[in-house]
Amino acid sequence: MSTGHVTRATDRRGIDVLTLAECLDRLSSTPVGRIAFVTSGGPVILPVNHAVDGTHVVFRTTVGSKLQIAEDAGRVAFEADGMDVRTRRGWSVLVKGVANPVYEADQVARYEGLGVLAWADLDPESAVWVRLRAEEITGREIVR
Amino acid sequence: MSTGHVTRATDRRGIDVLTLAECLDRLSSTPVGRIAFVTSGGPVILPVNHAVDGTHVVFRTTVGSKLQIAEDAGRVAFEADGMDVRTRRGWSVLVKGVANPVYEADQVARYEGLGVLAWADLDPESAVWVRLRAEEITGREIVR
């Protein structure tokens, strides 16, 4: 997707606001993101490898807390970014929504084909797919 | 800090558990992290440039929501990571605690000297320092 000729909206700080298509494009091309969820002790952030399926963010987990929040259909946030410290430019995309575990064989097969990296620690036998149904996707880019 | 000769604990998945000193070292040497806090609409994650002052994570913000959570002394999480997609190895550090705005001149001067990058969008006139008092710092490394 070319973004060079798109006239973008800017937010109140003069930062470029990414379109939904741009947000999904950035999420798709960035293999590592972070998921946040709320526990009794407050918010937690954990890194995940993800893929984008339509407007859903999907990832695998064997971790108790990430899986539990999905079992509970809890509210989560997902973030990916690309920050260039040298130029002090960067972008970030935030997805807010509800997470659910996915056990249906056809959906699992579909997600297996999305090319999500399996990290060295992930036991494929016990890994469960989690789907984040996006209710809000927003992105910003600092280009000045 | 050399970590090559430290015998590390491993968690239940066989991932190396970083020591507190290792966690602080990773946080200090990584200029970009992410902060999560809880709003009425659920958790939110935003990228920040940070520095480490003892066991405190400090950053500047002009953003309403990040500043508001600090004004409210809200519970936050801070995360930094380094993921190498090629080798499928990586590390992440999670800090949980309470955020507060810092207005005292001597503290502000101290933080100004920590070398936190100012991004292109940050208006130094309106930026406020936020200090995250860590209550828990944990880190993991996938080295297999």
What value of ipTM does the predicted structure carry?
Answer: 0.85
Q: Can you tell me the mean pLDDT for A37-63?
A: 91
pLDDT score of B3: 42
Residues of B in contact with A44 (CB under 8 A): 36, 77, 94, 96
pLDDT score of B2: 40
pLDDT score of A118: 73
Residues of B in contact with A88 (CB under 8 A): 117-120
CB A88 to CB B46 under 8 A?
no
Of A65, A91, A67, A68, the C-alpha closest to A80 is: A91
Shortest Cα distance, chain B CAs vs residue A92, angstroms: 7
Which of residues A11 and B78 earns the better pLDDT score? Answer: B78
CB contact at 8 A, A116 and A138: no
- Which range (A23-37, A69-83, B8-22, B75-89) has the least confidence? B8-22
CB A96 to CB B62 under 8 A?
no
Instruction: Give chain B's mean pLDDT.
Output: 85
pLDDT band at residue A4 using 50, 70 and 90 as cut-offs: very low
At B81-126, the pLDDT tens digits run 998 878 878 999 999 999 999 999 999 999 999 988 776 666 767 7
CA distance B97 to A4: 41
Task: Among B76, B136, B142, select the one facing A43 at the smallest CB separation.
Answer: B76
Top residue of A11, A34, A133 to mutate, by most chain B CBs within 10 Å, is: A34
CA distance A85 to B117: 8
Instruction: Give chain A's mean pLDDT.
Output: 85
Tokens of B28: 């200090």
CA distance B141 to B144: 9
pLDDT band at residue B79 using 50, 70 and 90 as cut-offs: very high
Q: Is the pTM of this model over 0.80?
A: yes
pLDDT score of A7: 58
CB B85 to CB A47 under 8 A?
no
pLDDT score of B74: 87
Cα B42 to Cα A37, A38, A53, A139, B64: the distances in Å are: 8, 8, 22, 17, 16
Percent of chain B, pLDDT > 90?
A: 56
CA distance B58 to A126: 38
Question: What residues contact A90, with CB distance under 8 A and at least 6 apart?
Answer: A81, A82, A83, A84, A141, A142, B32, B47, B119
